[in-house]
């Protein structure tokens, strides 16, 4: 008999969606890894565990659609705190060139801990850094993510176009084209699980037009087709990138993507700021998803994504905290708030609702990752839930449950359930030693900066 958890007396359970429902004094029953029952009022049944959710608000666990975990090691990087994207990258490449397996393992867990403590139950990661002589970083990430217990959809990133070939990164952090494709196929064959409720899916993610060869872009699309996996990359993030594409490829970034065979289903793109109206229609035709990363875009002064135009056209727009060196945080609740604020700055207060950004962070994020088994509180979906405590200082005085968690200052989740298992209880990890990991992560960051001559 599968384990059961009954959540009762919840002040609010947000099912959202077209009906935009907010169940009050509500209950939810989990059986195994699935949501079994859901409704308002009292409900009595035998359960292995009963959680009293009085003064608590329950939402679907958030889905993070874009990140670079390893950048937690260069947060607020001293030489790039006031830089735009290309300079920010060029300054950090020498430190990133020193990454080893310990750096990858620790940064993965630190990023995931911050994500989970802010309500995230599924995350992707875009790892594209493989310094010469280093391989299998993604295997290390998978091990680290499994230990902390999140639903994980990592991508095999890559950079193959170094300085000598007209790319942006130094050659010390680029790989050979053929190796990228061989390793991509190995990872799919070894780890990819496409079943309902999968805890681990692989996607392919050449880094960006200005640091990856056309060969890798084309062959990645072919591999994705062969195995039915998703494709991901950075696109239309800055005006510098548009200028780079015009100069080097003679076309705009989306035309380039089309040329290399990427206009297809199961694709999601990070940022997507500089698309014109015709390009948005083209993206919508293939239901291409956008990972909106508002803090990173604001921090680097890149621009503001046309969230409403994209959503109206039919593109799923998810939320991404992006690399911790350009957002300097992996707090997804804070990012949800930032998404609301940034769109309102551009289009006014009525342009986007609290419910809209919560939908973006849940089932639209799931759609970006080509999933319909997560991202919504509904009978039959996976039991991924974030439960926030309205008694927290940051929410005191706020009586609108969804307004509280989005508009007030982001806080730590009270309870986090991933795939039917309680991973955070009373705001602390159940089976993960966070303090020791923070200590080791800080030591590693200092060592890397020293090695690169920054400290």
Helix (H, G, I), strand (E, B) or coil at 52: strand
Cα 135 off chain centre by: 23
Burial of 312 (0-12, 13-18, 19+ CB in 10 A): exposed
Report how far residue 395's alpha carbon sits from residue 418's, in angstroms, rounded to the nearest whole number.
24
CA distances (Å), 11 to each of 22, 284, 388, 402, 427, in order?
10, 37, 10, 11, 18
The least CB distance from residue 323 to Zn ion, in Å, is 5
Cβ at position 95, least distance to Zn ion in Å:
17
Residue 332 Cβ, how far from Zn ion at the closest point, in Å? 15
CA dihedral sign of residues 139, 145, 149, 152: negative
Q: What is the chain's length? A: 455
What's the min distance (Å) between Cβ of 85 and Zn ion? 10
- Taking the complex as a whole, the smallest distance from the CB of residue 2 to Zn ion amounts, in Å, to 38
Q: How many helices (H) and strands (E) does the chain have?
A: 15, 17
Beta carbons of 404 and 387 less than 8 angstroms apart: no
Choices 139-147, 168-176, 263-271, 376-384 (CB under 5 A): range interacting with Zn ion = 263-271
Could you give the CA distance from residue 406 to residue 177 in angstroms, rounded to a whole number? Answer: 43
User: Which token pair is 409?
Assistant: 């200052």
Which is nearer to Zn ion, 270 or 368 (by Cβ)?
A: 270
Tokens of 220: 């990645």
Element (H, E) at 273: none
Give the nearer residue to Zn ion in terms of CB position, either 61 or 320: 320
Q: How far is the CB of 369 from Zn ion (least distance, A)?
A: 15
CB of 288 to Zn ion, least distance (A): 17
Could you tell me which stretch among 157-165, 173-181, 267-275, 372-380 binds Zn ion (CB under 5 A)? Answer: 267-275
Task: DSSP letter for 370, please.
Answer: T
Pick 127 or 423: Cβ nearer Zn ion: 127
Q: What gap in Å lies between CA 155 and CA 138, rounded to an integer?
A: 8
- For Zn ion, which is the closer residue by CB, 270 or 386? 270
Q: Which is nearer to Zn ion, 270 or 342 (CB)?
A: 270
Q: How would you classify residue 25: left for phi > 0, otherwise alpha for psi between -120 and 50, otherwise beta? A: left
**71's tokens:** 């950048």
Q: Which is nearer to Zn ion, 270 or 410 (CB)?
A: 270
The CB-side HSE value for 427 (13 A sphere, CA atoms) comes to 8
Q: Which stretch binds Zn ion (CB under 5 A): 72-80, 167-175, 269-277, 405-413?
A: 269-277
How far apart are the C-alpha atoms of 397 and 301, rounded to whole Å?
34
Angle made by CA atoms 241, 246, 251, in degrees to the nearest 5: 110
Cβ distance to Zn ion smaller for residue 270 or 361: 270
Q: How many residues bind Zn ion (CB under 5 A)?
A: 1
**Which residues ranging from 331 to 390 are in contact with Zn ion (CB under 5 A)?**
none
Q: Which stretch binds Zn ion (CB under 5 A): 264-272, 299-307, 383-391, 395-403?
A: 264-272
3-state secondary structure (DSSP) of residue 408: coil
Nearest CB to Zn ion, comparing residues 160 and 233: 233
CA–CA separation, 209 and 198 (whole Å): 30
Report in angstroms how near the CB of residue 37 gets to Zn ion at its nearest. Answer: 39
- Closest approach of Zn ion to the CB of residue 128, in Å: 9
Shortest Å distance, C-beta 59 to Zn ion = 25
Shortest separation between residue 299's beta carbon and Zn ion, angstroms: 12
Part of the chain binding Zn ion (CB under 5 A), chosen from 36-44, 127-135, 253-261, 262-270: 262-270
| Stretch binding Zn ion (CB under 5 A), from 1-9, 183-191, 270-278, 366-374 | 270-278
Please list, in sequence order, all residues whose beta carbon lies within 8 angstroms of the beta carbon of residue 247, skipping any fewer than 6 positions away: none
Which is closer to Zn ion, CB of 57 or CB of 369?
Answer: 369
Question: Alpha helices of 192-313 — where are they, by DSSP H?
Answer: 214-227, 239-249, 253-259, 277-285, 294-299, 307-313
Only one of the segments 268-276, 304-312, 401-409, 433-441 lies at the binding site for Zn ion (rule: CB under 5 A); that segment is: 268-276
In terms of CB distance, is 36 or 234 closer to Zn ion? 234
In the complex, the smallest distance separating the C-beta of residue 150 from Zn ion, rounded to whole angstroms, is 19
When the beta carbons of 291 and 408 are compared against Zn ion, the nearer one is 291
Q: Which lies closer to Zn ion via its Cβ, residue 11 or residue 155?
A: 155
Footprint on this chain of Zn ion (rule: CB under 5 A):
270
């Amino acid at each position: 008999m599968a384990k059961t958890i009954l959540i009762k007396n919840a002040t609010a359970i947000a099912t959202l969606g077209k009906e935009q429902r907010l169940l009050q004094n509500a209950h939810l029953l989990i059986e195994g890894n699935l949501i079994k029952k859901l409704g308002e009022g009292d409900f009595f049944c035998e359960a292995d565990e009963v959680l009293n959710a009085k003064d608590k608000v329950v939402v679907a666990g958030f889905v993070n659609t874009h990140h670079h975990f390893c950048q937690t090691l260069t947060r607020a990087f001293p030489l790039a705190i006031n830089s735009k994207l290309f300079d920010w990258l060029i300054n950090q490449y020498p430190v990133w060139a020193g990454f080893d397996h310990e750096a990858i393992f620790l940064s993965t867990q630190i990023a995931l801990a911050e994500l989970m403590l802010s309500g995230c139950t599924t995350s992707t990661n875009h790892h594209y850094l493989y310094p010469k002589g280093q391989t299998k970083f993604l295997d290390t990430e998978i091990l680290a993510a499994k230990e902390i217990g999140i639903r994980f959809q990592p991508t095999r990133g890559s950079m193959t176009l170094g300085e000598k070939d007209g790319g942006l990164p130094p050659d010390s952090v680029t790989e050979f084209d053929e190796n990228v494709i061989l390793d991509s196929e190995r990872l799919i064959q070894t780890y990819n699980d496409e079943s309902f409720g999968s805890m681990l899916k692989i996607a392919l993610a050449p880094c960006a037009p200005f640091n990856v060869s056309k060969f890798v872009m084309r062959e990645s699309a072919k591999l994705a087709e062969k195995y039915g996996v998703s494709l991901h990359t950075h696109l239309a993030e800055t005006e510098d990138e548009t200028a780079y594409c015009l100069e080097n490829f003679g076309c705009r970034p989306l035309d380039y993507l089309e040329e290399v065979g990427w206009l297809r289903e199961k694709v999601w793109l990070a940022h997507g700021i500089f698309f014109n109206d015709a390009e948005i229609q083209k993206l919508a035709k293939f239901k291409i998803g956008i990972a909106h990363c508002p803090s990173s875009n604001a921090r680097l002064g890149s621009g503001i994504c046309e969230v409403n135009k994209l959503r109206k056209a039919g593109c799923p727009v998810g939320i991404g905290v992006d690399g911790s060196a350009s957002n300097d945080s992996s707090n997804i609740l804070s990012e949800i708030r930032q998404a609301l604020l940034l769109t309102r700055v551009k289009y006014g207060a009525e342009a986007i609702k609290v419910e809209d950004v919560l939908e973006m962070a849940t089932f639209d994020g799931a759609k970006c990752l080509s999933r319909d088994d997560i991202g919504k509180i509904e009978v039959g979906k996976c039991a991924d839930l974030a439960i926030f405590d309205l008694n927290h200082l940051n929410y005191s005085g706020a009586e609108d449950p969804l307004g509280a968690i989005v508009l007030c200052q982001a806080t730590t989740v009270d309870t986090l359930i991933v795939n039917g298992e309680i991973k955070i209880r009373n705001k602390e990890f159940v089976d993960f030693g966070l303090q020791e990991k923070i200590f080791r992560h800080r030591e590693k960051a200092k060592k890397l900066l020293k090695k690169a001559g920054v400290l």
